[in-house]
Amino acid sequence: MALPNIIQLSEFDIAQKIIESLSNVCTRAVLFSVKNESKDATQISDELKISLSTVYKTLSSLEDLALVEVHKFVFSSEGKKIKQYRSRIGKVEITLDETEPVLHLYPNKKY
């Protein structure tokens, strides 16, 4: 079997990172929370009953993987700028082809 080239390695690394990320129940919960409507970190934390710092860390990881994005900014009553996050993906399929996982991401059609 031929060794993969740099581009294939890079693609595999990203797919592998996404698969590993989605294997975490907290990550999936945060992603599902912002699938149908955009929310800020505090709303997600309150809804899921997980710490705000965990939500911020998870959102940062999901942003790095391009699975969530900042949808808009809102302002609090104190005038603070607050990020509203939304999922960029609506569906994920992970299948096995020979010995390698194959990742299929489908866009979120809600937005």
Determine contact, residues 67/91, Cβ cutoff 8 Å.
Answer: no
pLDDT digits (tens, 9 = 90+) for 78-105: 888 999 999 999 999 999 888 778 889 9
Collapsing DSSP to helix, strand or coil, 16 comes out as: helix
For residue 2, the model assigns a pLDDT of 52
Tens digit of each residue's pLDDT (9 = 90 or more) over 27-79? 999 999 999 999 999 999 999 999 999 999 999 999 999 999 998 888 877 88
Give the 3-state secondary structure of residue 82.
Answer: strand
Which pTM does this prediction carry? 0.80
Q: What are the C-alpha distances in Å from 45 to residues 51, 62, 105?
A: 6, 15, 25
Distances, alpha carbon 94 to alpha carbons 6, 21, 33, 78, in Å: 22, 13, 20, 44
Other Cβ atoms less than 10 A from the Cβ of 73: the count is 10
Residue 69 corresponds to which tokens in the numbers above?
């994005």
Span 24-107 CATH architecture: Orthogonal Bundle (1.10)
Residue 1 — pLDDT band, cuts 50, 70, 90? very low
For residue 99, what are the contacts with CB-CB under 8 A and spacing of at least 6? none
Question: 46 near 80, Cβ under 8 Å?
Answer: no
Residue 17 phi, psi dihedral angles, 5° rounding: -65, -40
Residue spans of the domains in the chain: they are 24-107
